[in-house]
Amino acid sequence: MSTAAHADSHDDHDHKPHGWRRWVYATNHKDIGTMYLVFSGCMFFVGGMFAEGIRAELFKPGMQLFDPQFFNSLTTMHGLVMIFGVIMPSFVGLANWMIPMQVGAPDMALPRLNNFSFWILPFAFTLLLSSFFVPGGAPAGGWTMYPPLTLQTGASFPMLIFSIHLMGASSILGAINVIVTIMNMRAPGMTLLKMPMFVWSWLITAYLLIAVMPVLAGAVTMQLTDHYFGTTFFTAAGGGDPVMFQHIFWFFGHPEVYIMILPAFGIVSEIIPTFSRKPLFGYEAMVYAIASIAFLSFIVWAHHMFTVGMPLAAQLFFMLSTMLIAVPTGVKIFNWAATMWHGSLSFEPPMLFALAFVFLFSIGGFSGLMLAMVPADYQYQDTYFVVAHFHYVLVTGALFGIMAAIYYWLPKWTGHMYDLKLGTWHFWLSTIFVNVLFFPQHFLGLAGMPRRIPDYAVQFTDWNMVSSIGAFGFGLSQFLFLYLIIKCVRGGVRADSRVWEGAHGLEWELTSPPPFHSWSTPPSAAVIAHGAEH
């Protein structure tokens, strides 16, 4: 073999795959993280389109655009796509990008499993979304999939169940990978209580995922056997109990809510210290607060079910344990406030989104306390008050956390600085419109407007119009975000020392610092002096 031919064959074996192969066969944590984020971005616009359809129908009373069955399909698919297709993959993408770098690992522990856990998702959502085109239409029983509602959806039912299984498998594999990476691949000297907060929040989230995703899988499999194999787990006529499904579902569903918010807590705990130029106040308390929230999330599930007729003792237990979650959550809020106290604050887009998160997530927390009260919950149950509550938690909570993270880390990922003015515009438009969208829904719910209905009494018209205008404004402002990201990835101003040494550059030195020898560069004299002062 000639030297040139040998060199060619050597190149064929050793050079990195490029083009489509780079992505299909990806085992690099950054490439896989990017694919997760791009996938969740696409799903964000799909799920958002469903939401805009819902708000367009509700702009005024009467049936305008859709028949009731299709409207119910929209609410169902909006919930499933946003939860399993947007929030969770976004956080897994951020975990893939950041956890190896934050713990000093060369990659995720199980790179091929990582590739597999991503590629399950496009197939799962192709299956789910194609259910719109089968006889009987898309599932219309709500994202909670309560029997007997879900059983009536015809041919889309098995597609729904199988896609849920695939999403669950993807989540479990991703969670295993996160745990193994964090536990086995930390840099020398990085003990657990020296890890950045984002890593801690994901470690705890990963354990939650492994604990609860199989519970959902069991519940939907029992529904499948009820439908096709003659079992009667949830069929009252055969001695089954539809309320049992609710218990099993919410035993998954409530920790799931915390799976979607804990990584955002970690992100905000990284951003606020950076832009306050101060170490995080009460680092260990924050870690224990996240762990407490995760533990308590397992014993509060039936607060979603106060109206099913459970015994008074059970109602009392679930009411009190739900209110108990406010304690560690309050610890986190106060610690973020204390971090900013006497800090040297600067208000770039990541900090703006983190601050909006703290304020608006707290609104969702307070309305959650209201919903925890059994006698009051009888009035709120299944009204738009509940819709307002969980959207304050999941949009201004989880979604704003994701946006904050993208603004925070995008210059590190791309080497380019995004347009700060456009980022600030995106923040203000999103924050104003998200409140115009969801705050009036509290009033609608308190006035008695039920959720998941396509038509309503005329006295609810005004606030519905306001809410729908907010929805259209919020949706349109996300195209600005898309433009900003594409512009940043394609080029623009190089991320200079301002990014690395300015507001963004203090990240490694201020949030739970690793030991000196694992810093890529020694800390500056100013930072050491700053630490000595405090």
pLDDT score recorded for residue 514: 39
Render pLDDT for 266-275 as a digit per residue (tens, 0 to 9): 999 999 999 9
The whole-chain average pLDDT of the chain stands at 90
Q: Which tokens go with 138?
A: 């898309």
Out of 90, 269, 339, 383, pick the active-site residue: 269
Euclidean distance between the first and final Cα of the chain, in Å?
A: 67
382 catalytically annotated: no
477 catalytically annotated: no
Estimate to the nearest angstrom the gap between the alpha carbon of 250 and the chain centroid: 18
Out of 107, 241, 292, 424, pick the active-site residue: 107
227 catalytically annotated: no
pLDDT surpassing 80 at residue 533: no
pLDDT score recorded for residue 320: 97
Helical pair 156-184 and 111-129, crossing angle rounded to 10 deg: 160
Render pLDDT for 28-63 as a digit per residue (tens, 0 to 9): 999 999 999 999 999 999 999 999 999 999 999 999
250 catalytically annotated: no
426 catalytically annotated: no
pLDDT score recorded for residue 495: 81
H-type helices in 459-503, by residue range?
461-490, 497-501
What CA–CA distance (Å, rounded) separates 28 from 20?
A: 14
Instruction: Kindly report the pTM of this predicted structure.
Output: 0.90
> What one-character-per-residue DSSP string does 433-451 give?
HHHHHHHHHHHHHHTTPBS
407 catalytically annotated: no
pLDDT score recorded for residue 2: 47
Out of 29, 55, 78, 442, pick the active-site residue: 78
Q: Which among 355, 173, 144 has a CA at the least distance from the CA of 257?
A: 144
329 catalytically annotated: yes
Out of 304, 389, 442, 504, pick the active-site residue: 304
Render pLDDT for 199-227 as a digit per residue (tens, 0 to 9): 999 999 999 999 999 999 999 999 999 99
pLDDT score recorded for residue 153: 66
Stretch among 146-150, 161-165, 453-457, 460-464 having the lowest mean pLDDT: 146-150
Handedness of CA 493, 494, 498, 502 (dihedral sign): positive
Out of 23, 119, 143, 425, pick the active-site residue: 143
Out of 31, 226, 256, 377, pick the active-site residue: 256
143 catalytically annotated: yes
Render pLDDT for 93-148 as a digit per residue (tens, 0 to 9): 999 999 999 999 999 999 999 999 999 999 999 999 999 999 988 999 899 999 98
171 catalytically annotated: yes
Out of 36, 258, 407, 408, pick the active-site residue: 258
CB of 267 closer than 8 Å to CB of 401:
yes
Out of 186, 254, 442, 504, pick the active-site residue: 254
**Model confidence band, residue 8 (pLDDT cutoffs 50, 70, 90):** very low
256 catalytically annotated: yes
**Model confidence band, residue 17 (pLDDT cutoffs 50, 70, 90):** confident
258 catalytically annotated: yes
Out of 29, 332, 391, 426, pick the active-site residue: 332
What CA–CA distance (Å, rounded) separates 79 from 73?
A: 10
What CA–CA distance (Å, rounded) separates 115 from 432?
A: 38
pLDDT score recorded for residue 152: 67
Side chain identity, residue 497: S
